[in-house]
């Protein structure tokens, strides 16, 4: 998991509910990570080793977030993870279409794969129609990789990995989740479990699963006039759900103005999770939560502006056998941090806590001699001016949690105390959960058609259009 952990570590400063997500990529204190080709290759190797062990159909318990199309929208992806609370505090099911269209396809899929590798029990990634090489060779993903690395070999490797992604999930025993929809070839759920998902090109049934759309022009299931997938109507959907003892179908694949759309009969729910998809202001970012009883709540996040790649601030991240190296300058206005010795694991960003004037300066080896004078001091040298300005605001405990991941408990954190003008390395080494603490859940009541619902994801941006569907 070394590559996944390195990539996730680079994203950790951005997955922070306390900052303005509109500043990601435009503020030099919040640069978007870029990764070396070797790091991405290693991530793909780690991911495919897990995908190949997963079945076509994943069965998941309730109490899970369901996310629709991302399409390279890295800022929406980051705020979804941050506001819903990142793993291991929340579980996520992503429905596909992670790449193409948007300008940050590589960064988005790297973040998703790193979350999946580090938390395979908390993150499930299904395949969408844009995880097929014949389509992501046209709509931006291949072009982006060629521009960044000067070769399409990495793009080919991505598509090898995509072919092993699961294609469907059943949540809380009553909800079928796929990227697109149903097929006239699909009579029973068991068919999903036995098809060859790695075939290239995909078989007709898999092609329908990732391409089909619900329709009001037919009651049955007919070929789509667009040439891919099918259009499935109400009668066909109800019969399929009854035959398979299911309550509803949740799918993505279509841009929805308010982010989430529930059919009148509440049998089909569409979620789309990338705002401004067609043009600025065209649609909101939607997310769904299914609680432990199988009931559903849908909500949307407020619009944030699109950031052109040509205007973005990036920070290149690569790694050797023992360390992560930030190949660009550290985020301004802070001075650089000198790295002394290969055992040092430098942080990818600077974290300040104005409430008690502490700055996380980096990590040191517990076995290093901090008193030697041979130029290889264990302490990282940071000038007093580091105490000026602020990057992120956390309590001291949060700095510790964000800097030290559980698997690095052998390391020690060095803090710069701006009050005393000295390093403080007296804090004990301990094992803490990653990223954030888990606050109490908040609850709110809303109603929709079928009745009342009393659950809302904790610390989510208040939705402007809230829908709730009671399990039937």
Active site residues: 130
CA-nearest of 268, 104, 106, 239 to 176 is 268
2-11 helix and 37-51 helix, angle to the nearest 10 degrees: 110
CA-nearest of 401, 406, 445, 447 to 427 is 401
CA-nearest of 40, 36, 28, 9 to 346 is 9
Question: How far is the CA of 410 from the CAs of 351, 364, 366, 430, 435, in angstroms?
Answer: 21, 10, 7, 8, 18
User: Burial level of 448, CB count in 10 A (0-12/13-18/19+)?
Assistant: middle
Question: Could you tell me where the DSSP H helices lie in 373-459?
Answer: 396-403
Location of structure tokens 């601030």: 313
Cα–Cα distance between 203 and 196 in angstroms, integer? 8
Question: How far is the CA of 106 from the CAs of 65, 144, 146, 349, in angstroms?
Answer: 23, 8, 11, 21
Cα–Cα distance between 290 and 66 in angstroms, integer? 8
Cα–Cα distance between 382 and 393 in angstroms, integer? 19
Ramachandran category for residue 65: left, alpha or beta (phi over 0 → left; psi -120 to 50 → alpha): beta
Cα–Cα distance between 102 and 95 in angstroms, integer? 17
């Amino acid at each position: 998991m070394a590559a996944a952990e390195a990539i996730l570590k680079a994203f950790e400063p951005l997955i922070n509910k306390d900052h303005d997500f509109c500043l990601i990529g435009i503020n030099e204190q919040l640069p978007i990570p870029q990764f070396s080709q070797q790091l991405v290759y290693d991530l793909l190797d780690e991911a495919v080793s897990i995908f190949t062990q997963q079945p076509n159909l994943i069965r998941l318990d309730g109490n899970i977030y369901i996310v629709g199309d991302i399409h390279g929208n890295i800022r929406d992806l980051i705020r979804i993870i941050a506001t819903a609370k990142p793993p291991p505090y929340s579980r996520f099911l992503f429905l596909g279409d992670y790449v193409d269209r948007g300008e940050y396809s590589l960064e988005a899929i790297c973040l998703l794969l790193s979350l999946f590798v580090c938390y395979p029990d908390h993150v499930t990634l299904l395949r969408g129609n844009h995880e097929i090489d014949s389509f992501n060779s046209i709509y931006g993903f291949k072009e982006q990789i060629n521009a960044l690395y000067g070769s399409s070999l990495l793009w080919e490797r991505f598509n090898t990995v995509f072919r092993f992604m699961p294609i469907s999930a059943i949540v809380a025993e009553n909800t079928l989740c796929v990227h697109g929809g149903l097929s006239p070839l699909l009579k029973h759920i068991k068919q999903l479990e036995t098809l060859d998902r790695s075939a290239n090109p995909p078989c007709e049934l898999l092609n329908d699963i990732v391409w089909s759309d619900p329709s009001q022009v037919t009651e049955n299931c007919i070929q789509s006039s667009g040439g891919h997938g099918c259009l499935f109507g109400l009668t066909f959907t109800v019969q399929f759900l009854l035959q398979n003892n299911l309550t509803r179908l949740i799918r993505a694949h279509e841009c929805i103005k308010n982010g989430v759309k529930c059919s009148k009969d509440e049998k089909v729910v569409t979620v789309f999770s990338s705002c401004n998809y067609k043009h600025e202001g065209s649609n909101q970012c939607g997310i769904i939560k299914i609680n432990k009883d199988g009931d559903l709540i849908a909500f949307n996040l407020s619009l944030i502006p699109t950031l052109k790649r040509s205007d973005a601030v990036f920070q290149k991240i690569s790694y050797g056998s023992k360390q992560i190296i930030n190949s660009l300058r550290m985020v301004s206005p802070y001075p650089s941090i000198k790295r002394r010795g290969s055992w040092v694991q430098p942080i990818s960003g600077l974290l300040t806590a104005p409430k008690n004037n502490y700055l996380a300066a980096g990590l040191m080896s517990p076995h290093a001699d901090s008193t030697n004078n041979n130029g290889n001091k264990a302490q990282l040298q940071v000038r007093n001016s580091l105490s000026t300005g602020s990057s992120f605001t956390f309590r001291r405990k949060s700095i510790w949690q964000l800097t030290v991941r559980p698997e690095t408990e052998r390391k020690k954190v060095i803090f710069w105390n701006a009050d005393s003008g000295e390093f403080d390395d007296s804090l004990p080494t301990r094992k803490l959960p990653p990223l954030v603490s888990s606050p109490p859940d908040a609850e709110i009541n809303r109603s929709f058609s079928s009745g009342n619902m009393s659950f809302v994801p904790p610390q989510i941006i208040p939705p402007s259009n809230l829908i709730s569907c009671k399990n039937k």
